[in-house]
Structure 1
Amino acid sequence: MACFPALSRSLKSISSVSSISLKKFSNSFMIITNYAKMGTSSHSSTISEYLRNDRLDEARRVFDKITSPDVYIYTMLISGYCRNNKTNEALNLFYRMPTRDVVSWNSMIKGCLDNGDLNKAYDLFNQMSERSVVSWTTMVNGFLQFGRFELAEELFECMPSRDIAAWNSMVLGYCRSGRIKDAFNMFKRMPSKDVISWTMMIGGLDQCGKSDEALSLFRDMRGVGVDPTSSTLSSVFTACANISALERGVQLHGHLFKSGYVFDAFISTSLMTFYAKCKQIESCLKVFQENLVSNVVMWTALVTGYGLNGMHEEALDVFKNMMKEGIVPNQSTFVSALNSCCGLEALDRGKEIHTKAIKLGLFLDVFVDNSLIVMYSKCGNLDYGVNVFNNMNEKNLVSWNSIIVGCAQHGGGMLALKYFDQMAQSGVQPDAITFLGLLTACSHSRMLDKGKYVFDLLNRDPSIEVRLEHYASMVDIMGRSGQLKEAEEFIKNMPIKANSMVWLALLSACKLYSNLEVATKAAQYVLDLDPHDSAAYVLLSNLYASACRWNDVSRIRVMMKGRGIIKQRGASWVTLKGSKHVFNSGDISHPLSRKIYQKLDSLSGKLKEFGYVPDQRFDLHDVENEQKEVSLFYHSERLAIGFALVSTVEGSTIRVMKNLRVCGDCHSAIKLMSKIVGRTIIIRDSSRFHHFKDGDCSCGNYW
């Protein structure tokens, strides 16, 4: 076409994209409209019924019995083939048509686009002797769906006439790709706008992090007299939630209540999410209770709302109640419920929900499986997470990231790298999270060379921004490998200014190697950047205590007290039958304290028989050695293990969660405990998971 020669030339270079599956276009772009001539009504209605149920063979048999099918019946069957990814059959039928009208051409073009054949769609478009505005819009929308923006723009500008649907198509395409500035410029150019135009632009601004501008545009929309739809209002409530604009959301809620709009289930769901994100869970529950419709979307919003507010027990109760009410959960419900299992670190509850997903046929859903991988990894059972991942029919970027991060958390450095290789072979492009997971895995497995290799790969990928988290992980890798000076130089040569997190990684490594010289400098950098970072004070104080420099320890503690900084108290906990049992060092408040202490006392003698000698360097108090030994033996993680030993069946795995890093003395003792009691003991500290079994730990004494 003379109008756009560059467009024709560009298409010659487009590679085959037949594997791409396009989403259905908006109803605004539906191609098949009512014909005045409906063909033989009995045949058309029979074929229509078969096609509605995807019974293509029966539909074709009826079609073949018609002596002279009209263009409407041809087009109906062609559309049926296209909907079922049978483009070749559709094209064969299309070329057999004795006559074709613009609707049949549009239908075939749309079918090619839906099934990923952009070249064929454009070839058909060029063959058309007559085009409607729908023909042009369909082709423009196709280019946008394939990310061919320059071609879409050129074709759009060549359109002989444009309706609102064509303009909306361009705005929507830009919004979906994150080109919000281009979308807004196109929006401003529109000669007229309908509610769909305004709604798309409001939603696009919000999704690109411009929620304030989205709300401002909504005010403009109301100012020109355009009435919002439920989709518009949903976007507005989402924008209010994203910036915690509680007052504006409540005002809008009041207006909707007066108009009766609030009883719309779609609006109610958005309202619930808005209140939940603004930490108004009671208002969220009230909207749910007042609504006249009770469907899976509203129940899911309530489960999610409780989870967002850290009320995970309540979230799982809602999940249980919806099942009792006969409401079948969908993939989003399962994702929210599994997230709450993570929040509770409740492995048993997660397994129960996994079983329900299997019964409902959602166990192969990619979103549910991704959440299962995360849940199993965070709750201390990586093997189950690996099993879920390996059995997935479909894997997306989140799937690969979830398993790589899971392996990193459990110290599976080589396994994480193995999955990264498989990810590359599958053609999935990594992102910033992928590399952060890999670097963490290398850090936890003392793989300095592998870590440097991964960091080099990251720096050579122009599509990924290297963040401060990546630099901190690289410092951690070098520092924990004993390369403290190299790590310090690495920080000083970073292309971006290091924050407290980066220097804190170095300070933490200094404690591992008792290097007070580098630690003092690193701590000063941290405190200059963030004078209230409690971790820096604690790490430096612990280093001084390990070196028996008690005057320096006192100085640090006085400084902390003067600045109102409180050291986080160590705690460990075990979740058993839905209940969380929390222990602090020397705790005697638990109902089973007597049995716990008896169990630990009986273990004490056996530990010494196996050669255990308390390492008093890890009791960081200026007290007598005998008192240090007693203090060490009743650290919170040992009390939690004692509780699990007296509360669970022999041979079962013990899982303990801890808010601080496990100390070296406890680590040595727990290795021997696992051998004495014949159990696997899994402890998650603030850094990673430790799997103790038969006297060894998965971390290789490196954490």
Structure 2
Amino acid sequence: MPQPPFLLPMFLVIRVPKSKFYTTPFTTVPRIAIANSISFSFTSISTNSFNIKSHKSLLFHHLKNRTLDEARAVFDQIPSPHVSLYTIMLHAYAHNHRLREAIHLFRQIPSKDVVSWNSMIKGCINCGDFVTARKLFEEMPHRTVVSWTTLIDGLLSLGNVEEAEALFWAMDPLDRDVAAWNAMIHGYFSNGRVDDALRLFRGMPSRDVISWSSMVGGLDHNGKSEQALVIFRDMVASGERLSSVGLVCGLSAAAKISALRVGIQIHCSVLKLGYWCFDEFLSASLVTFYGCCKQMEAACRVFGEAVCKNVVVWTALVTGYGFNDKHQEALEVFGEMMRIGVAPNESSFTSALNSCCGLEDLEKGKGIHAVVVKICLESGGYVGGSLVVMYSKCGYVTDAVYVFKGIKEKSLVSWNTVIVGCAQHGCGMWALAIYNQMLRERVDPDGITLTGLLSACSRSGMLQKARCFFRYFGQKKTVTLTIEHYASMVDVLVRYGELEEAEALVMSMPIKANSMVWLALLSACRKHSNLDVAERAANQIFEMEPGCSAAYVLLSNLYASSSRWAEVACIRRKMKHKGVVKQPGSSWLTLKGRKHEFLSADRSHPLTGKIYQKLDWLGVKLKELGYVPDQKFALHDVETEQKEEMLSYHSERLSIAFGLLSTVEGSTITVMKNLRVCGDCHSAIKLMAKIVHREIVVRDSSRFHHFKNDICSCGDYW
């Protein structure tokens, strides 16, 4: 594997020759001309000149501080202001969405130049008044390529691609410069018109570095990263000098497809061209690239050698650690960034909260939430959405919904996130209420919305609602039913006992069913004791995935619950012969940033003695409440007494006992489990919650269960 290049520590002294030109906002004048023009003494400067200069200085001060009314008062005191001052005021009004005042002032300009016309058109577009922008464009006495390009950009930003195309081709070919071509290419990509962008690029009479970079970035953004790297290679072969933007686009494409060799070559180009020293975005892109390629050691070395470390570079390192499931290290980097005074942005908080989810560490998530509230970022879409995910995955769906309500501009992603979160916690009615609110807000649902709704119906026993949603979305032109949707619908049907209908749906699917669909069918057969359907589903899975351990285990458990021990032994022999290993069941909970994990009948924990004493005490209390172990969930052919003992020390029970010993009286205990909770443990934990007067939350592979006062949030339907 090729090794990435790295810099040795060095110091650069750069000497820049003095220019023979002074640059002003409007003209570039030879220095000798300025010297010759100074033919007056300081004593001849009039008081009026001082007044004009002071007025301009005061005007710019007010504009900088966004006190527009005061700025306008100063502007009105300037006698015969230059058109450039009018243009500055127009820009300020439009930037602050005071378009009516901008238009009124524009009409007062005695001699409008092309810059003022273009600024007014741009201001109208930015304020969303495209009708006025088009009207002004038609009124212009003389249009430049900037005028045309500004209007084309506006049309493309609104999604009016056909109208923009017509305007582009209506331009005089001599005026249609490379900037206009680049604007069309960028607009095509922004509207998902990849083929049109490629066609236009191939027809360009000339290209610059922006043309090439737009193609690489646009293809990468539209999910065609491999094609983006082909264009990047063509750019290098064309002899076009690589810009930092082009290199960033190339690194982004290489990162998304983990093209390590290509990325290292781009890294070499970065060093060769000298962009490395002070370009924070290139440093961040390199850190991200190596992180995506699972090369965190290289990412850390790039970070360490970066000359300028701003928030973008720090965030890239936090994200890289999180992407490689090194969430503890990610949070340590985030903490270090805060300690040295680098202010986090929305991306920083999002990456840190994602790592809190990975660790299932609610306390750290709450700490980050407090910082978010302090700097007023809680209502932002990205950070708000990450908080919703964090609280949902840590077992606090009520807090997730509360955060969601505070998000000011809710995107489709935000709506989908909270619907899926409610579904995971069995809050089906909440999910449907939020969906109805989403429709009232005129947000168009997509395929992810359907997945969340079907999941909500599945975990809340709403069969008819699920059928209606499946039928309705199947008729929507904007949504294509995928294999995940069919698997979710099958799950709804089998949970309700409609095994025949579920199997018929699988057989009639327009796309070939995969193992996920058949597993949904197989997993329900045990609850409904349907061996015929289970065996057919298992055979389908074995044909597609001979080494699928879940199918072997599910079928074996079904035979065991029916006391067909010969078939159980046969399946176990097959698993051993094929080298299929059963995933061991484990449960864990996180306390003070430390994960405590338990296996069934585990005795490796330092508090094992106290944990078993607690379980024995709970066992006595359970029997007093009439609890009788359900031995069909003891999946071994052993004596009755041994079966009861095996059930008593399942991993989730060990975790709960440890939680009772290690947390404050009355607090909620949250346990995570990698497999589905068994029926006997589900019954026992309901009673445990009543005995200890606590809420116990258990997240298994299917959903969250909230146990309180002998009741589970799933309604015994999971």
TM-score bucket (shorter structure) = over 0.9
Match runs of 1:184-195 below 5 Å: 184-195=198-209
Q: Which residue of 1 aligns with 2:274?
A: 260
Q: Write the distance in 1 (CA, Å) between the matches of 2:170 and 2:274.
A: 45
2:258 pairs, out of 244, 263, 272, with 244
TM-score by length of 2: 0.92
Once the two structures are overlaid, the 10-residue window that deviates more, 68-77 or 382-391, is 68-77
1:587 to 578, 595, 602: 602
Q: Does 1:307 align with 2:299?
A: no
Task: Tell me if structure 1 keeps the 8 A contact 2:428–2:459.
Answer: yes
| 2:26 maps to which of 34, 39, 46 | 34
**Aligned-partner Cα distance in 2 for 1:157–1:34:** 31
Q: Is the contact made by 1:242 and 1:277 (CA closer than 8 Å) also made in structure 2?
A: yes
Match in the other structure for 1:418: 433
Q: Which residue of 1 aligns with 2:46?
A: none
Counterpart in 1 of 2:147?
A: 135
Q: Deviation per CA, 1:397-455, whole angstroms, max 9, x where unpaired?
A: 11111110100000011100000000010111111111101110100001001111111
Q: What amino acid is aligned across from residue 316 of structure 2 in structure 1?
A: A
Aligned to 2:3: none
SS at match of 2:638: coil
C-alpha separation in 2, matches of 1:371 and 1:498: 33
CA distance in 1, matches of 2:236, 2:608: 65
Aligned counterpart, 2:591: 576
Question: How big is each residue's C-alpha offset from its partner over 1:515-573, in whole Å with a ceiling of 9 and x where there is no partner?
Answer: 11111111111222222221111111111111111111111111112211111100000
1:259 Cα offset (Å): 4.0
Shift of 1:210: 2.1
Amino acid at match of 1:150: E
| Aligned position for 1:82 | 94
Residues 317 and 636 of structure 1: CA distance in aligned 2, closer, same or farther (over 3 Å): same
- Establish whether residue 329 from structure 1 lines up as the match of residue 341 from structure 2: no
SS of 2:595's equivalent in the other structure is strand
SS in 1 for 2:276: helix
Partner of 2:237: 223
The one-character-per-residue Cα deviations of 1:12-35 (angstroms, maximum 9, x if unpaired) are xxxxxxxxxxxxxxxxxxxx9726
Partner secondary structure for residue 213 of structure 2: helix
Which stretch shows the higher mean deviation, 370-379 or 171-180? 171-180
CA distance in 2, matches of 1:657, 1:275: 32
Do the aligned residues in 1 keep the contact of 2:515 with 2:544 (CA within 8 Å)? yes
Q: Does 1:272 align with 2:287?
A: yes
2:663 alignment counterpart: 648
> C-alpha separation between the residues in 2 aligned to 1:680 and 1:72?
68
Counterpart of 1:8 in structure 2 is none
State whether residues 230 and 267 of structure 1, in contact with CA within 8 Å, keep that contact through their aligned partners in structure 2: yes
5 Å matches for 1:600-619?
600-619=615-634
Q: Distance in 2 between matches of 1:696 and 1:238?
A: 50
Tell me the equivalent position of 1:164.
178
Pairwise mapping of residues 144-543 of structure 1 onto structure 2 (< 5 A)?
A: 144-160=156-172, 161-263=175-277, 264-543=279-558
- Report if the CA contact (8 A) 2:247-2:270 is conserved: no
Once the two structures are TM-superposed, the CA of residue 44 in structure 1 deviates from its matched residue by 3.9
Q: What's the counterpart of residue 63 of structure 1?
A: 75
User: Which of the pair has more CA radius of gyration?
Assistant: 2
Whether the 8 Å contact between 2:385 and 2:417 is mirrored in structure 1 is yes
Q: Is the 8 A contact 1:439 1:473 kept in 2?
A: yes
Unaligned runs of 5+ in 2: 1-23, 30-48
Q: For 2:133, which of 114, 117, 121 is the aligned residue? A: 121
CA distance in 2, matches of 1:79, 1:613: 77
Contact 2:690 2:710 in 1 (8 A): yes
What is aligned with 2:652?
637
**Number of the residue aligned with 1:545:** 560
Unaligned 5+ residue runs, structure 1?
1-31
Between 280-289 and 235-244, report the one with greater CA deviation: 235-244
Of residues 93, 116, 123, the one that matches 1:104 is 116
**Aligned mates of 1:468, 1:179 — CA distance in 2:** 26
* Equivalent residue, structure 2, for 1:672: 687
Q: 1: distance between equivalents of 2:697 and 2:124?
A: 54
**SS state of the match for residue 575, structure 1?**
strand
8 Å contact from structure 1 (residues 35, 72) kept in 2: no
Report the RMSD for the aligned CA atoms in angstroms.
1.7
Shift of 1:212: 2.2
Read off the aligned partner of 1:481 and give its amino acid letter: Y
Looking at structure 2, the residues matched to 426 and 259 of structure 1 have their Cα atoms a distance apart, in angstroms, of 50
Aligned to 1:27: none
| Residue 42 of structure 1, CA deviation | 4.7
Give the superposition deviation at 1:593.
Answer: 0.4
Residue deviations 1:479-538, cap 9 Å, x none?
A: 100111111111112222211111111111112211111111111112222222211111
CA distance in structure 2 between the aligned counterparts of 1:651 and 1:398, rounded to whole angstroms: 36
Matched length: 672
Counterpart secondary structure, 1:665: helix
Identity over aligned pairs, percent:
57
- CA positional deviation for 1:461: 1.6
Matched residue, 1:16: none
> Does the 8 Å CA contact 1:48/1:76 hold for their aligned counterparts?
no
Q: TM-score w.r.t. structure 1 length?
A: 0.93
1:596 aligns with 2:615: no
- Aligned equivalent of 2:41: none
* Contact residue 253 and residue 262 of structure 1 kept, 8 A: no
Q: Once the two structures are superposed, what CA deviation does each residue of 1:592-619 show, in whole Å capped at 9, x if it has no partner?
A: 0000000000111110000000000000
Task: Decide which moves more: 39-48 or 551-560.
Answer: 39-48
Helix, strand or coil at the partner of 1:699: coil
Structure 1 contact 246–278 (Cα < 8 Å) conserved: yes
Query: Does the CA-based 8 Å contact 2:378-2:406 persist in structure 1?
Result: no
Deviations along 1:127-156, one digit per CA (max 9) or x if unpaired, are 222111111111111111111111101100
Misfit runs of 4+, over 3 Å: 35-46
- Residue aligned with 1:683, SS: strand
Structure 2 residue identity aligned to 1:86: R
Mapped partners of 1:534, 1:223: distance in 2? 50
Q: Which amino acid aligns with 1:235?
A: C
